[in-house]
């Protein structure tokens, strides 16, 4: 199947239109017309080569929402016309303990990311959601529930599941005290999800600049890490801190905010971090942990949870040809919304 999208042709060039083929349907494949594609900070890291060399031309995008246009003969869960999504993975071994445990993201043989990795069967490099069509095996297709606005659902498939999974891992619920470092794409979803679970949520930031924004999505307010008195007063006051900052930074100022047995979970920065002080860790059995997206079952759970609680990511819908300016804005600093490309605006002869 012929399709068109936006691809990076090298680590230093901007995205340009790219015509390519999607594979012919296998028996268990679902063909999807992509309507909306979220723009994740990790797309930017990947195309820039920050995480290693890439197979260019590379079509990023792992927050995909669309409609089923065709199904293979063995597909049982989806029909033509269904509203569906695809997140950060398109395959895994399906046989190891992690896959059996619905934790395909930790597949012992490595999950297949939605873009930039060889397909498990034919070795073709996977290409992501900045395109008009995609073909994905049924097990990695999600259902977009009624009640979610298609145009704003895409970021749930990465930013949503990435923050939902640690909230579930650490049993956040009514009365839990949660801190969220950073109020960008991931952070604002962390706040909305934790609030809906009944937690008391504080945004942690260098300044109180985002106080109003934080309150508007249900947080009690912003604790400024530069305000020493406020930080001292907040010592041992949180059960879980979700650290969404996507660049190297110092976690030490935040660890003392954790109560005994509390956890600071890193979901943003992939790579080196500054040294941290072990005293608060040892003196309070506190933990620094990491977490990667979530399994397919839990990704469906967060989609359903968002529909049930009327949670939508804050999105700015852009045309595909605005992707380069969106990248420019994203690389300059944190934005408290997610860019989502309306892929129906992409012309076939771009």
Q: Which residues contact 229 (CB under 8 A, 6 or more apart)?
A: none
Shortest distance in whole angstroms from residue 188 CB to Zn ion: 14
* Rg of the chain over all Cα atoms, to the nearest angstrom: 20
Q: Does 44 bind Zn ion (CB under 5 A)?
A: no
The DSSP secondary structure of 161-214, one letter per residue, reads HHHHHHHHHTT--TT-EEEEE--SHHHHHHHHHHHHTT-EEEEEESSSTTHHHH
Strands 287-290 and 258-266: parallel
Cβ-based nearer residue to Zn ion, 62 or 132: 62
Judged by CB under 5 A, which stretch of 76-84, 106-114, 233-241, 248-256 contacts Zn ion?
Answer: 106-114
Judged by CB under 5 A, the stretch of 37-45, 148-156, 263-271, 295-303 that binds Zn ion is: 37-45
Q: For Zn ion, give the closer residue by CB, 43 or 213.
A: 43
Under rule CB under 5 A, residue 293 binds Zn ion: no
SS3 (DSSP) at 93: coil
Interface with Zn ion, residue 47, by CB under 5 A: no
Is 39 a binding residue for Zn ion by CB under 5 A? The answer is no
Residues 35-68: b if buried by 16+ CB within 10 A, e if exposed: bbbbbbbbbbbbbeeeeeebebbbbbbbbbbbbb
Cβ proximity of 66 and 131 under 8 Å? no
Looking at the Cβ atoms of 92 and 176, the one nearer to Zn ion is 92
Residue 198 to residue 201: CA distance in whole angstroms? 9
CB 319, CB 341: distance < 8 Å: yes
Closest approach, Cβ 247 to Zn ion, in A, equals 15
Q: Which is nearer to Zn ion, 186 or 219 (CB)?
A: 186
In sequence order, the β-bridge partners of residue 340 are: 38, 317
Based on CB atoms, which residue is closest to Zn ion, 223 or 326?
Answer: 326
107 counts as binding Zn ion under rule CB under 5 A: yes
Among 31, 40, 302, 303, binds Zn ion (CB under 5 A): 40
Binding to Zn ion by residue 112, rule CB under 5 A? no
Among 3, 31, 35, 42, binds Zn ion (CB under 5 A): 42
- Member of 96, 125, 273, 318 binding Zn ion (CB under 5 A): 96
- Select the residue interacting with Zn ion from 64, 99, 156, 199 (CB under 5 A): 99
Q: Is the CB of 90 or the CB of 223 nearer to Zn ion?
A: 90
The residues binding Zn ion (CB under 5 A) are 40, 42, 92-93, 96, 99, 107, 158
């Amino acid at each position: 199947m012929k399709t068109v999208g936006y691809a990076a042709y090298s680590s230093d060039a901007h995205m340009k239109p790219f015509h390519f083929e999607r594979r012919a349907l296998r028996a268990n494949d679902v063909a999807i017309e992509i309507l909306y594609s979220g723009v994740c900070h990790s797309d930017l890291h990947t195309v820039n080569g920050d995480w290693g060399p890439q197979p260019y031309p590379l079509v990023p995008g792992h927050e995909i929402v669309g409609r089923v246009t065709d199904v293979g003969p063995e597909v049982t869960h989806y029909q033509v016309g269904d509203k569906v999504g695809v997140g950060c993975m398109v395959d895994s071994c399906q046989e190891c303990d992690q896959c059996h445990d619905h934790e395909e993201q930790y597949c012992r043989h490595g999950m297949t990311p939605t873009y930039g990795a060889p397909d498990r069967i034919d070795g073709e490099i996977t290409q992501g959601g900045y395109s008009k069509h995609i073909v994905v095996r049924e097990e990695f297709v999600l259902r977009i529930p009624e009640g979610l606005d298609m145009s704003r659902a895409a970021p749930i498939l990465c930013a949503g599941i990435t923050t939902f999974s640690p909230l579930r891992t650490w049993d956040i619920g009514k009365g839990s005290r949660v801190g969220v470092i950073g109020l960008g794409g991931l952070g604002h979803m962390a706040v909305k999800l934790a609030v809906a679970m009944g937690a008391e949520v504080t945004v942690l930031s260098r300044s109180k600049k985002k106080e109003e924004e934080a309150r508007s999505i249900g947080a009690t307010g912003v604790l400024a890490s530069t305000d020493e008195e406020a930080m001292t007063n907040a010592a041992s006051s949180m059960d879980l801190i979700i650290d969404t900052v996507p660049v190297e930074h110092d976690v030490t100022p935040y660890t003392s905010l954790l109560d005994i047995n509390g956890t600071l979970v890193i979901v943003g920065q992939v790579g080196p971090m500054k040294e941290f002080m072990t005293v608060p860790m040892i003196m309070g059995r506190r933990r620094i942990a990491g977490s990667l997206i979530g399994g397919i079952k839990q990704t469906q759970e967060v989609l359903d949870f968002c529909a049930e609680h009327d949670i939508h990511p804050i999105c700015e819908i852009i045309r595909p040809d605005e992707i380069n300016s969106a990248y420019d804005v994203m690389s300059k600093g944190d934005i408290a919304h997610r860019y989502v490309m309306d892929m129906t605006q992409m012309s076939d002869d771009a």
